[in-house]
Structure 1
Amino acid sequence: MSNLEREPVELLCPPEPARSPSIEVLAPRDVPLGGPRAMQVRRTLPQRGRTTIGAWCFADHYGPDDVAATGGMVVPPHPHTGLQTVSWLFEGEIEHRDSTGSVELVRPGAVNLMTAGRGISHSEVSLATTSTLHGVQLWVALPDASRHGVPFFEHADTEEERVDDARVRVFAGALPGLGRGASVTVFSPLVGAQVELPAGGEAWIDLDPAFEHGVLVDRGPVRVTIAALDDEPDDRPDDADPLTETGHSSLVEWSELAYLPTGHEGVRLTATDAPVRVVLIGGVPFGEELVMWWNFIGRSHDEVADSRRQWQAEVIDHGDPAGRFGTVGGYDGSPLPAPELPTVRLKPRA
């Protein structure tokens, strides 16, 4: 999905500092995806309090939207650099087309992952048969060693697994103790999964203690409880509840994102009197400084500005299929021009 803000903010994203062992709950902000009948998305990453969770650097949560009222998703061809897009749907279908020649449907239960590398362009349009559109769009920052590679696209089905009362689908990376997850390529240690609970249900999900995690609530609320490994007494019996003495717990509401720092062996998710669905993301803290603006991720203001210049010159002005971003075949319409860059150079954001 494109970032269709008319005045996107430039972000300098330094490596995140160490945090306390307690849960942080991040509220979303509403962002319209362009036009008078714009789809509204709720964005929890990036924001002032947190710009990354592992390599995950962007999270839009949308729907359920009545397509007859909003017009659905119509995102013209637009560019990306230095990242992977991860499309995950709860309801509806979206047609993806990109400059590598890929044409694929995004459907519930299957993941579409596009690796932009040095540069790619793509479009996303909901199908005419779709009445309700509901899902998340996530971005993963590519580490410096991998961000200049050849762009490519992958589509993979996922398998449902049971953990206590939960139904779990891993769509990127892997969770400890579960299957290998979706067979898509990632370039840093990370995980992405959907977890569903019935009303009153509960599940303990094992986590990699080297990862930080985020729990994005699509349906809730849900009680999120964690135990810090460093807090656990050495003489705790093997069969003891790790949360009895050391738990940190928060009730997380719809569309909020709970941030869980590193050093936890698991998370307990507990439903109240309503069913729960969350998206769990996580990864090793991303130790590189990022510059994010519009649909580009780079390492400097000049690099991002050069990406914008090439997109405008090669695609918007000349439609050069041999250029850095190629062209998207089969899309009936014009590509999306880039917004104007700010008149000042990038400044760090608090």
Structure 2
Amino acid sequence: MTRGTGSTAGLRGQERRRGAPLRVWIGPAVAARRPQDVAPAPEAPYARTMSNLETRPQEQLCGAGSQGAQVEVLTSRDVPLGGPRAMTVRRTIPQRARSLVGAWCFCDHYGPDDVSRSAGMQVPPHPHTGLQTVTWLFEGEVMHRDSLGSEQRVRPRELNLMTAGRGISHSEESPRSHGPVLHGVQLWTALPASALGDRPSFEHHGNLPDVFAFGARVQVIMGRVGLGGRWMVSPATTHTPLVAAQVDLDPGSDVRLDVDPVHEHALLVDHGEATLEGEVVPPSALGYVGPGRDELRVTASTAGPVRAVLIGGEPFDEEIVMWWNFVGRSHEDVARARADWQVQLEPGADGAAPGHAEGARFGRVDGYAGPPLPAPALPDVRLRPRTR
């Protein structure tokens, strides 16, 4: 683990175990509630941007994918999220072709969307376990509140990083004075098994390192990345070796990013005509390259600028079960987390931990006016990770 300079708690060194592909369940969408401390509006189009939800539950059976230097282009799928006038995000992972890039297990790309006549993002309190959430914006603002007492506004080129550990709850919403556009990405990393019982933590980093060279600006979000022989290291806490960075290219730019050759990498293109190692990666698609390269060539056509997000990390081979907002190692892990959340909403809910006190695991989010989100029902079949 690398410890950042933000506020952290209960973090320790990690051990890695070689495992298998994963099985992912995606839950149904739930309509949002409108808080009283944000701009009133008749709808909340970003009701579920920060949660792993779809309108109908379905199983995603995912393999680890092949390794190597050849570029694999993964197209996104449109995922409608909750509410009577649901917005849509573009999801690249997880999917059948590839479930993970390093420890990155979830990647949603949204906007740019006009939120000038709505309340913008409205995500009521909801739980997480076994993961880190990364909120990264290109345009707009989001207010984060969590059960640790954190209250933090995040703006473009600033990082909000929440580490769930054994359990945390949080809300995210557009401030009352939010701008007309909301645009960004939501990323999750899976925590290794040795961090699943850790205490939750939250960090905000508002001045992350960047470098300008060769018609490019590269800003590190997590981990480390280099450009022109200059390495940038993020102060953000990581639990496995990984990297994330925003890459902006002027028209016609041709750059080589310095990266860790042990890592696999993927480039999510936000806009512009980009290539990764000579392969065209369309907007909202993910270009994947396996381990074995110490640099990645990224180019922009002369037609216009490019903005992209690089993610990567040491291949994460532990078995995990991911369902709704929970990451665990077994069906029982997920079922217990769901029950422990539900008992906060419905005292006496079946399956909660013995002797569970209301709010003991996930806590309470103060400052959000509406009620928390109930968990969807578990699927009728057992959630199990697959073995190789």
For residues 242-298 of structure 1, what are the alpha-carbon distances to aligned partners after superposition, in whole Å with 9 as ceiling and x for unaligned? xxxxxxx21111100001100012111111111100000000000201100000000
Report the more deviating stretch, 37-46 or 212-221. 37-46
Structure 1 contact 20–261 (Cα < 8 Å) conserved: yes
SS of the equivalent of 1:145 reads helix
Q: 1:183 Cα deviation (Å)? A: 1.3
For residues 131-176 of structure 1, what are the alpha-carbon distances to aligned partners after superposition, in whole Å with 9 as ceiling and x for unaligned? 1000000001001111210001000021331232210110101114
Aligned residue pair count? 326
Indicate the residue corresponding to 2:192 in structure 1.
143
From 331, 334, 338, give the equivalent of 1:304: 334
Indicate the residue corresponding to 2:272 in structure 1.
220
Structure 1 contact 11–346 (Cα < 8 Å) conserved: no
For residues 173-223 of structure 1, what are the alpha-carbon distances to aligned partners after superposition, in whole Å with 9 as ceiling and x for unaligned? 111444443311111111100000011112111111100001000012201
Indicate the residue corresponding to 2:377 in structure 1.
340
Structure 1 contact 65–72 (Cα < 8 Å) conserved: no
Indicate the residue corresponding to 1:267 in structure 2.
296
1-structure distance, mates of 2:233, 2:323 = 31
Structure 1 contact 3–33 (Cα < 8 Å) conserved: no
Report the more deviating stretch, 135-144 or 178-187. 178-187
Q: What one-letter code is carried by the residue in structure 1 that aligns with 2:171? A: S
2-structure distance, mates of 1:343, 1:69 = 40
Structure 1 contact 6–339 (Cα < 8 Å) conserved: no
Structure 1 contact 221–251 (Cα < 8 Å) conserved: yes
Q: What one-letter code is carried by the residue in structure 1 that aligns with 2:223? A: G
1-structure distance, mates of 2:243, 2:198 = 22
Tell me whether 1:283 sits opposite 2:316 in the alignment.
Answer: no
1-structure distance, mates of 2:222, 2:249 = 20
Superposition CA RMSD, Å: 2.0
Report the more deviating stretch, 329-338 or 310-319. 310-319
Matches within 5 A, 1:122-141: 122-128=170-176, 129-141=178-190
Indicate the residue corresponding to 1:199 in structure 2.
251
Q: Which runs of 5+ in 2 are unaligned?
A: 1-49, 350-356
2-structure distance, mates of 1:102, 1:348 = 33
Q: Which has the higher strand share?
A: 1
Q: What one-letter code is carried by the residue in structure 2 that aligns with 1:281? A: I
2-structure distance, mates of 1:213, 1:335 = 36
SS of the equivalent of 1:101 reads coil
Structure 2 contact 266–289 (Cα < 8 Å) conserved: yes
Q: 1:347 Cα deviation (Å)? A: 5.6
Structure 2 contact 62–97 (Cα < 8 Å) conserved: no
2-structure distance, mates of 1:269, 1:317 = 53
Q: 1:322 Cα deviation (Å)? A: 3.9
2-structure distance, mates of 1:17, 1:200 = 32
What TM-score, normalized to structure 2? 0.80
Q: Which runs of 5+ in 1 are unaligned?
A: 226-248
Indicate the residue corresponding to 1:238 in structure 2.
none
SS of the equivalent of 2:269 reads strand
From 282, 306, 309, give the equivalent of 1:253: 282
Matches within 5 A, 1:1-350: 1-10=50-59, 16-68=64-116, 71-128=119-176, 129-157=178-206, 158-176=208-226, 177-225=229-277, 249-272=278-301, 273-317=303-347, 322-346=359-383
Q: What one-letter code is carried by the residue in structure 2 that aligns with 1:214? A: A
Q: Percent identity?
A: 55
Report the more deviating stretch, 95-104 or 307-316. 307-316
Structure 1 contact 77–328 (Cα < 8 Å) conserved: yes
Q: What one-letter code is carried by the residue in structure 1 that aligns with 2:87? A: M
1-structure distance, mates of 2:248, 2:115 = 25
Q: 1:321 Cα deviation (Å)? A: 5.7
SS of the equivalent of 1:68 reads coil
Structure 1 contact 12–348 (Cα < 8 Å) conserved: no
2-structure distance, mates of 1:332, 1:265 = 49
